[in-house]
Amino acid sequence: MTATLIWILVAFVAIGLYLSWTAGRLDRLHARIDASRAGLDAQLLRRASVAQELATSGVLDPAASIVLYEAAHAARQAEEEQREVAESELSQALRAVFADAQQVEAVRAAPGGEEAARELTEAVRRVPMARRFHNDSVRAARALRRHRKVRWFRLAGHAPFPLAFEMDDEPPAALADRPT
């Protein structure tokens, strides 16, 4: 009788340790999501700031400046619910303004344009990487949260269900093809 109780107690302790380990893993995934989202937000803000700065620098033609400025401003001011759409519109505006290499060369030829073009190229290259990293973290947390043990024992606590950040982040061809 005593040996049976000891084995039952050992089984409960083992199950408790396993559940605790799973809850800790889920917590680390949620922390990774928060960190990757902060990194994505920083890269999106950097891209919008560089685009807005370039739009107001006077090196672009007036129509391109207005299109780029309005898209960058909308991306910076967007509410959380509209952020993906605003960032996609900024990507589309960047592709429209820098559709050909001549526009990029005109920016590079202007005083201070080489630095501005380099910053914009780096910014548009980093956004897809940051978004991919964030979405990979979300995918891993979602996969763990789908397990029965996580749902039955409510190991996620009150953490909101993680959402991927879906946007059009394709860089302009004229900027993507150029080495920095």
Per-residue pLDDT tens over the stretch 16-42: 999 999 999 999 999 999 999 999 999
Per-residue pLDDT tens over the stretch 46-103: 999 999 999 999 888 899 999 999 999 999 999 999 999 999 999 999 999 998 888 8
Residues found in the chain: 180
Per-residue pLDDT tens over the stretch 118-149: 999 999 999 999 999 999 999 999 999 999 99
What's residue 102's pLDDT? 86
CB 42 within 8 A of CB 104: no
What's residue 177's pLDDT? 61
CA distance 19 to 155: 8
